[in-house]
Amino acid sequence: MAQHIVSRRMYYQVFAALLVFTGITVAVAFLNLGPLNTIVALAIAVIKALLVVLIFMHVRYSSRLTGVVVAGGVFWLLLLIALTMSDYLTRSWLPVVGW
Residues 68, 39: Cα–Cα separation, whole Å: 27
Question: Do 55 and 78 have their domain in common?
Answer: no
Q: pLDDT digits over 24-41, tens only?
A: 999 999 999 998 998 999
pLDDT in tens, 47-77: 999 999 999 998 888 899 999 999 999 999 9
Question: Residues 58, 72: one domain?
Answer: no
Residues 82 and 44 in one domain: no
Report yes or no: 72 and 64 within 8 Å, Cβ to Cβ: no
Q: What is the pLDDT of residue 89?
A: 87
36 and 14 in a common domain:
yes
The runs of H, that is alpha helices, within 1-99 are 8-29, 36-51, 64-89
For residues 54 and 75, state if they share a domain: no
37 and 57, same domain (yes or no): yes
Distance CA 7, CA 25 (A): 27
Range of the domain at 34: 1-62
Answer yes or no: are the C-beta atoms of 44 and 24 closer than 8 Å.
yes
Are 52 and 22 found together in one domain?
yes
pLDDT value at position 91? Answer: 81
Our count of domains for the chain comes to 2
User: 72 and 43 share a domain?
Assistant: no
